[in-house]
């Protein structure tokens, strides 16, 4: 439990550190290297377009990240008077359930609260993911993967120009790391260049992980399930996939794709209104 609490603090700090390093490399290293002659650079040059695209992706990723933290799932334990030790212990060992009135209700040990439509606890945000912040979490994963892909392409272009190498061969990227390590210890490669090469593989790993997680989460949403329900083997009420999408993304889903906005409606609030 102590390790999980420590991870809950370290993971968000790690993500913010990687985001800061990525922003610095893009703005002060990659984009300036694209300007060969600033005095003759047209308005819609590749460098300016790339910079605008990166800022758009970064703003959406960071904005949805903040909204995931702000829109914490509601603590149903306050309404259920779960403050006594015996009742909380029932939630801890999973022996208590509220039935169909509160589907997939779960007590999170790290957040110390009972949440409805609990999906999972995200260590990189230090928060539980539920009905109130599911859409922002998916948008956070989507734009993080796109920002990593953008940084990967820009970094490869920078390394290609700096080291005068070509990535036309697919094996060139796979052999880049071991070849660079040998050159670094032999003194033929600068530490700054080695750092950029290491970041390339880090962006690739984070981008693939976020993209895979986003696709898996979308598949569960189309089925009307959460990860917690799948893990516990719970049976969900079958309904059309369009309704499942609307429960998460709302009617103004297109706006959420372009800018980070708060999920106004949630299934928890709708059930309370009923």
Write out the catalytic residue numbers: 122
Report d(CA 274, CA 262) in Å as an integer. 22
d(CA 42, CA 196): 28
Q: Quickly tell me which residue has 């999980």 as its tokens.
A: 4
Q: Are strands 106-108 and 127-129 parallel, antiparallel or unpaired?
A: unpaired
Cα–Cα distances (Å) from 44 to 48, 150, 152, 179, in that order, read 6, 18, 22, 37
Sign of CA dihedral 216, 222, 133, 145: positive
| Number of C-beta neighbours around residue 216 at 10 A | 12
Residue 134 Cα distances to 81, 91, 119, 127, angstroms: 26, 23, 8, 11
- Tell me if 221 sits within 8 A of 206, measured CB to CB: no
List the structure tokens of 22. Answer: 């990525």
Separation CA 117–CA 76 (nearest Å) = 11
Distance CA 134, CA 268 (A): 12
Residues in a beta bridge with 129: 120
Please give the structure tokens belonging to residue 169.
């061969």
CA pair distance 254, 136, nearest whole angstrom: 13
């Amino acid at each position: 439990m102590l390790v999980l609490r420590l991870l809950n603090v370290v993971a968000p700090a790690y993500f913010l550190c990687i985001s800061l390093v990525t922003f610095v490399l893009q703005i002060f290293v990659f984009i300036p290297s694209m300007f060969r002659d600033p005095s003759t650079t047209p308005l819609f040059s590749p460098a300016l377009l790339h910079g605008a695209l990166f800022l758009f992706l970064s703003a959406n990723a960071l904005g949805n990240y903040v909204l995931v933290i702000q829109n914490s799932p509601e603590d149903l334990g306050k309404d259920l008077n779960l403050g006594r030790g015996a009742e909380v212990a029932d939630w801890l060992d999973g022996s208590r359930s509220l039935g169909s009135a509160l589907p997939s209700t779960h007590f999170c040990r790290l957040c110390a609260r009972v949440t409805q439509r609990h999906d999972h606890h995200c260590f990189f945000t230090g928060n539980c993911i539920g009905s109130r912040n599911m859409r922002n979490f998916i948008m956070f994963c989507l734009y993080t993967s796109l920002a990593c892909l953008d940084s990967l392409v820009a970094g490869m272009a920078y390394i290609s120009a700096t080291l005068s190498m070509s990535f036309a061969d697919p094996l060139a990227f796979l052999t880049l790391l071991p070849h660079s390590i040998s050159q670094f210890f032999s003194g033929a490669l600068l530490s700054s260049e080695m750092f950029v090469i290491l970041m390339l593989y880090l962006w690739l790993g984070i981008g693939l992980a976020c993209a895979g997680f986003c696709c898996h989460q979308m598949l569960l949403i189309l089925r009307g399930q959460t990860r917690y329900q799948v893990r516990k083997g719970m049976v969900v009420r079958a309904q059309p996939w369009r309704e499942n999408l609307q429960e998460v993304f709302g009617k103004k889903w297109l706006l959420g794709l372009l800018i980070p906005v708060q999920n106004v409606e949630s299934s928890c609030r709708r059930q309370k209104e009923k």
